[in-house]
Chains A and B, each alone.
Chain A
Amino acid sequence: MTVTEFVERPFAKALVDYAGRNERVVCVTNDLTKSVEADLFRETFPDRYFSLGMAEQNLAGVLSGLAREGLEPVYPSFSVFATRRPYEQILLNIAYPNLPVRLIGFLPGITTPGGVTHQANDDVALMRGMPNMTVLSLADATDVETLTGVLAEIDGPVFCRSPRGNVPRLFDDPLRFGHARRLSSGSDLTVISSGATTEHSIRACAAIGDAGISVSHLNVSTLKPFTDELVIETLANGAPVITAENHLRSGGLGTAVAELIADHGLGARLHRVGIRDTFTHGGRPEYLFAHYEIDDVAIVNAANELLGSSVQFESTVAGGPRRTTLAASVNEGL
C-alpha cells in the first residue's frame, strides 16, 4: 500500500472549525502551542486561548475549573504531558466529576524520538483505567478532521491519541464513535489494529492476502467503551486474532480484545503485537517500530506463527528513506 494523500496539520483546522461551531470551546496549552497545532486557534480565537506555561498539574486543575464554568476545554499536548504527568489531577478533578474536558495526546507511543520521557507507551492503559473517561485513537487525516463530530456526542471527559503534522489519509468515511472500520473481510485470520500500526497492518494484510490467506482487518478508534458489535461478530468466527498497537502489550487494545474474547466466551487464539514489558529509548520512529517489533514485519511474523504459514515480507519502511510523516516529529521542536 502506498499512501497517496497527506494532509498538513489537520488538527489545527479541525479545532478552529469546531470552535467556530461551538462557542463553549476554549483551548489551553503547556508551552507547546505550535507543536500541538493550537497556533491557528490562538490566532483565530485569542479570547478563548490560555497559555498556562509548563505546569501540567496545575493546568489539569484549571481545565476542571473552566469546565465547571460551563466551557468545553481542549488541552492538546504531547501525550505524556496530557496523561502521565497530571494523572491524579485528571482522575480526581476531571474524570470523577465527569466534566467535558478534551485531552488530545500527540506523539503517542514511539512515534517520537524523544526517548522514555516523551514516549507515551502507557497512555491508553492509564486512561482506560479511569472511570468516566472515553478513550479514542486516531489513525489518519480523516479521523482527525472528523474527530470533533464525535466529541460533540460525548458529555464526559475524552482522551484522544492523535497523529500530527503531515498526516496520511487512509479512510474516506468519517470517524464514528464506538464503531470500528472494516478494512477487509476474510475467514482465516483477524487483524485488529489501532493508530499508527494501522498503516503497518494494511501493508502486512496485503502481503498475507497475496499468499492466499483470507484476512479480516478492523481498525479500532474507540478503545473505551469497547462494546462494538462489529468487533464481537468478527471475533466470533473463531479465526486466530492479531492485535497491533503502538503501546505496551498490556493495558491497551490487545488487553481490551482479550477481555472481549473472555467475556463473550469466544475462545479465539490471540497474538498481541505491541511493546513488550520494557522501557524504550530514542530514535527515528521507523527504527523504533522495527526495534520494538510493532511494525509490518512483526505483524506478518505473528501471522506466520499463528497459522504456521511462511509469508515472505520485506519492510518498505524500516531501512527505507525517511518518510515525511515520521520525520516531521524528528525535526519539529520537542
Chain B
Amino acid sequence: MIRRRAFDVAVEHHGGYLIQACSSADILATLYVELMQLGPGADNLVPPRFNGTPGTGVPEHWGGVYNGPDQPTYDRFILSPSHYATAVYAALIETGRLSSDALTDYNADGTTLEMIGAEHSPGIEVTGGSLGQALSVGVGRAMWRKRAGHTGKIWVLISDGETQEGQTWEALQAAAAFGLDNLRVLIDVNGWQVDGPMESVMPVGCLRDKAAAFGCDAVEVDGHDPAAICAAVLSADRGKPLVIACITDPTTGFPALKERDDAQTHFVRFRPGEAEEYRRSSPLLVGVGR
C-alpha cells in the first residue's frame, strides 16, 4: 500500500519519488508495525497548513508528533533522506497516524506535506534534505538517552547515497565510541542515486563490512523480509550501535521501472500513457480498477 500510494502521487503530480517507496516500503512497515515503541500519534490526523519555520514567532508544528510523544520512554524515528518523505507519509496513513486523504494536499503551495520533507512535515523529525546530516542528530539524541538512562531508542533510516558523505562515517565513529546500543541505523541499500546505479557514480563497497570496521554491530539482510529485519534487531550486540544494511530492489512492485533510462529513475516522471503500462504490469495492482 505504501508503494501504491507513492505511485498514485507520482501519477497525479507528474512525477515523484517512487523508487524510494518501492525500496523502503517493507523497512518502513516493519519499523512502524513491529519494531518501534512510538506511543500515540498526533491528535489531529489532518496536518496543519504551513505556518512558519522554527523561531518565527507563530506556533510552529513539529512533524515528529506524528511519530508519537517526544518523551524519554518512547522511541524516536528519524528519516534522514527527506526525499523519501512520500513513503513516510504513506506509512503514517497505513498505520492510522495520518488521515487517509492527506496526500490530496501533497506538495500543494502552503502545505506541510512537501515533496522533500522538512521538520514541519508529518513524520519528519529532522530537516534532512541536504543529505548525510540527520544521522548525527540521532547520535546526539542516543548519546544523551544512554547517559541519562532513558529507555526510548533512536531509529534512523538513511539511504545508501548518504554513505558517500563523510559525515555519515563521522557519525558512526562517534556512535561506536560512545557504545550507543540504543541507536539502530537502517540503510536502504537500493543501489541507486540520481545519476544512476551507485556502482557507476561512486561505488561505496560493502556497507556491512565498512560499518563493522567502524565499530558497529553490522548485519546485512534482505530489506524486503520483515522477519529478517526483526531478527537482526533481536540478536543485536550489547554495547555497540546496530547498523542493518537492508538490501533492496527499487523496482519492487513496479517491474516496469527496470526499463527506465538511468537518469530518469531517481525521480520518476511518466510519459503520456506510461502510467497505464505500469499499472498493467504491476503485481500490486492486479484486479484493482482505477
Q: What residues of chain A have their CB less than 8 Å away from a CB belonging to chain B?
A: 29, 31-35, 39, 51-58, 80-81, 84-85, 113-118, 278-284, 287, 291, 331-334
Q: How distant is B274 from chain A, measured CB to nearest CB, in Å? A: 14
Q: Can you name 12 A-B residue pairings with CB atoms under 8 Å? A: A31-B194, A53-B193, A54-B132, A54-B202, A55-B165, A84-B130, A115-B117, A116-B53, A116-B129, A281-B114, A331-B14, A333-B194
Q: How distant is B264 from chain A, measured CB to nearest CB, in Å? A: 8
B129→A117 contact, CB < 8 A? yes
Majority-rule SS of B interface residues: loop
A53→B53 contact, CB < 8 A? no
A34→B263 contact, CB < 8 A? yes
B269→A115 contact, CB < 8 A? no
Chain A proximity mask over B172-199: 1 for CB below 8 Å, otherwise 0? 0000000000000000000001110010
A53→B267 contact, CB < 8 A? no
Q: How distant is A27 from chain B, measured CB to nearest CB, in Å? A: 13
Residue among A55, A115, A118, A333 making CB contact with B164, cutoff 8 Å: A55
Distance of A75 Cα from B166 Cα, bound (Å): 19
User: What residue in chain A is nearest B200 (Cβ atoms)?
Assistant: A51
A51→B114 contact, CB < 8 A? no
**Count of residues in B whose CB is under 8 Å from the partner chain:** 39
Is B103 positioned at the interface, with any CB of A under 8 Å from its CB? no
User: What residue in chain A is nearest B204 (Cβ atoms)?
Assistant: A53
Known: A80-B130, A332-B267. A53 touches B114 (CB 8 A): no
Instruction: List 6 other contacts, CB 8 Å, given A278-B53, A333-B194.
Output: A31-B161, A31-B202, A52-B202, A116-B127, A287-B109, A332-B267
Residue among A31, A85, A281 making CB contact with B201, cutoff 8 Å: A31
Distance of A246 Cα from B50 Cα, bound (Å): 21
Q: How distant is B195 from chain A, measured CB to nearest CB, in Å? A: 5
Q: How distant is A212 from chain B, measured CB to nearest CB, in Å? A: 35
Known: A54-B202, A287-B109, A334-B83. A282 touches B131 (CB 8 A): no
Q: How distant is B79 from chain A, measured CB to nearest CB, in Å? A: 13
Known: A33-B195, A333-B194. A113 touches B115 (CB 8 A): yes
B267→A282 contact, CB < 8 A? no
B110→A54 contact, CB < 8 A? no
User: What residue in chain A is nearest B15 (Cβ atoms)?
Assistant: A331
Distance of A113 Cα from B166 Cα, bound (Å): 26
Chain A proximity mask over B99-134: 1 for CB below 8 Å, otherwise 0? 000000001011000111110100000011111100
Distance of A284 Cα from B115 Cα, bound (Å): 11
Q: How distant is B65 from chain A, measured CB to nearest CB, in Å? A: 18
Distance of A52 Cα from B263 Cα, bound (Å): 16
A115→B194 contact, CB < 8 A? no
B269→A281 contact, CB < 8 A? no
Is B235 positioned at the interface, with any CB of A under 8 Å from its CB? no
Distance of A22 Cα from B53 Cα, bound (Å): 46
| Closest A-B pairs by Cβ, 7 of them | A53-B202, A333-B267, A117-B129, A287-B109, A279-B53, A282-B114, A117-B130
Which of B50, B127, B128, B164: most chain A CB closer than 10 A? B164
